A = this chain, B = another copy of it.
């Protein structure tokens, strides 16, 4: 098969993991608002490494800086000092290669007849294209390809001067997974979609309120976690303090399971569950339901280390660092040519011969998307002397693309959408392969089979909790290709 021919390369640069989407951080009422936003974003950097930005306000002026790359690329000497004020919002962004432009970096700063405001958004709308067509037909001009600009236009066109009311009206027209922050001269507004697909937490540092994608950002800046923002909740923070309202009627909660399985930082608490603990529990469940005749347990670094520790503990097998990840391979890294790949250059991951040699390895990973990475790792282990490789995955087969903000592959690229488990095992060249079932996954959160669950498992079940409005629409106009 041609698809597989490409996989023959012993080394693949295309990491076939689901990509982290975006992270947002906002703070109101602290004289160090900008610096804290910077450090909060540093804690969220795992959610996006392609662009970053911060917008602040001192109550009468707004300030903004953004750029491509890591926070350390975007904020060097001096830029941070130029952003002043007691309130700020910030954003880190992942994007597909084609659209990683400075134009699409966030926060987006805008002005309407009523005011200036800035917006920073995490998530994906399922009716963005449909709304954009409506807006363009009414004469709206688009300068980016981001969903965020659709939300901004809806706010500008809401026809009311009160910003909170305009945001509420706009939020009722969009559908999908979203969690966004809006900053104006005198208020910070935060919002989470009615299903709770994308996470957002509320914290406090002295008198200041903070909202962020994950609780690890609160810990990092020394703030206390108050609670998760509720699905359908709109929070508004001003000089007068904190107010909360519902912008949408109560619906069944559908939090993203994949935040726990792969995305979120292990030290975050997402919707009440600690991520590391969930992963370790999934590893234990995996050991109980899908034992393997192995000598050692190895987790794929870094995301599967928790699950591997759980598996090892439950199976009483030793946990070993049989795979070492090179942490110095950044975006600017020069990739090896094909000729060198053929000589076996292996940069990201290395298998440790003296650990692996002669051993039956139980390899723990969190998911299989395209299958190419799994195959490469199995081969690495065998090359280092593993006699058997038993692959155990701490989630169910990933069969359907996410439409709510997680950019994985298209359906025809998802190996589990095309192949049975046995076929996958064969393709990734493992001695055995087991996944968790959706029920087992839910058991990791202490739900019994049949329980109603507050999670979106669409990527495992193909049952999407919303209509997919844009699905039927023609491809949008090709965006202008903009370099940095």
Residue from the set A109, A138, A277, A484 with the largest chain B CB neighbour count within 10 Å: A109
Residues of B within 8 A of A353 (CB): 219, 269, 274
**A320 at interface, CB cutoff 8 A:** yes
Q: Known A43-B350, A340-B35, A481-B61; judge A139-B159 contact (CB<8 A).
A: yes
A457 within 8 A of B: no
Task: Tell me, in angstroms, the Cα distance from A60 to B480 when the chains sit together.
Answer: 10
Closest to A114 in B: B136
A82 at the interface (CB under 8 A from B): yes
Query: How many copies altogether?
Result: 4
In contact, B354 and A269 (Cβ under 8 angstroms): yes
Question: What's the minimum C-beta distance from A106 to chain B, rounded to whole angstroms?
Answer: 12
**A281: shortest Cβ distance to chain B, in Å?**
12
Q: Are B477 and A330 in contact (CB under 8 A)?
A: no
A328 and B71 contact, Cβ closer than 8 Å, known pairs A65-B482, A136-B111, A354-B277: yes
Q: Which residues of B contact A115 (CB under 8 A)?
A: 477
Q: A478 touching B61 by the CB < 8 A rule?
A: yes
Contacts of A17 in B (CB 8 A): none
Bound-state Cα–Cα, A477 to B482, Å: 28
Residue of chain B at shortest CB distance from A354: B274
Distance in Å: Cβ of A378 to nearest Cβ of chain B: 17
Residue of B at shortest CB range from A49? B328
A321 adjacent to B478 (CB under 8 Å): no
**Counting chain B CB atoms within 10 Å of each CB, which of A42, A102, A110 scores highest?**
A42
Q: Are B481 and A82 in contact (CB under 8 A)?
A: yes
> Are the C-beta atoms of B306 and A265 separated by less than 8 Å?
no
Contact check, B43 vs A219: say whether CB atoms are below 8 A apart. no
Partner of A140, one of B102, B141, B302, B344: B141
Find out whether the CB atom of A62 lies under 8 angstroms from the CB atom of B480.
Answer: yes
Question: Among B77, B142, B219, B327, which residue has its beta carbon within 8 angstroms of that of A346?
Answer: B219
> Chain B nearest CB: distance from A157 CB in Å?
4
The distance from the CB of A370 to the nearest CB of chain B, in whole angstroms, is: 23
Q: In whole angstroms, what is the CA distance A472 to B382 when docked?
A: 55
What's the minimum C-beta distance from A287 to chain B, rounded to whole angstroms?
A: 13
Within 8 A of B (CB), among A227-249: none
A-B pairs, top 6 by smallest CB distance, nearest first, are: A222-B344, A113-B136, A274-B354, A139-B157, A65-B483, A267-B352
Other CB < 8 Å A-B pairs besides A67-B484, A109-B143, A205-B343, 4 of them? A39-B340, A64-B483, A76-B334, A143-B143
| 14 CB < 8 A contacts A-B | A36-B340, A36-B345, A39-B345, A62-B481, A65-B484, A72-B330, A110-B141, A140-B141, A216-B350, A220-B326, A220-B346, A274-B354, A276-B321, A309-B318
